[in-house]
Amino acid sequence: MKRIVLCGVFVAALLASLGCGGGSDSVTSTPPSATGTWAATLTATGGTQLPNGAQFTATLVLVQIAPDLWEGTYSTQGGSTGTIFGQLTGYTFTFSTFEGGPCGGVFDGVGTLNGSSTGMSGTYAGSDCTGTLQATFVAARQ
């Protein structure tokens, strides 16, 4: 019975989010989306891994799995690879990365998509087996 109630609540929320009306109102803006392949430049701002100001690149492949959730993979020019999960609220997002190779680590960050969802920027921090890192990033959709 609890399952049926939860399904009913979900359906009601979905229908409410679609809105109702006479059809004369049209949506003129595209909702923000992180889906796509992104080329990022990262700049160290603190930590023990790299000197401040050191830059490196990364490629992210992201898929929006719900209006406010996305997931994907990343690889850096240094050979690190892993998974990334994020939550989007408007054009602001939070994310966590889980480094799988060459050594495990976790990094968390915040960022903003631009109005056309073609660029993003933000900050992140965390650590892996090589030490700690705080950094900024800018990325462009490919």
pLDDT digits (tens, 9 = 90+) for 23-74: 444 444 678 999 999 999 999 999 999 999 999 999 999 999 998 999 999 9
Which pTM value belongs to this model?
A: 0.77
How does the average pLDDT of the chain come out, rounded?
84
In the chain, what are the domains? 36-141 (2.40.128.120)
pLDDT at 107: 98
Contact 110, 85 (CB under 8 A): no
For residue 14, pLDDT over 70 is answered with no
Per-residue pLDDT, averaged over 113-138, amounts to 96
* pLDDT of 124 higher than 60: yes
Neighbours of 12 (CB within 10 A): 10
Q: What is the pLDDT of residue 102?
A: 83
pLDDT at 61: 98
> pLDDT tens-digit profile of 133-142?
999 999 999 9
Q: Which of 120, 122, 97 is nearest to 108 (CA)?
A: 97
Whole-number pLDDT of residue 30: 78
pLDDT at 15: 33
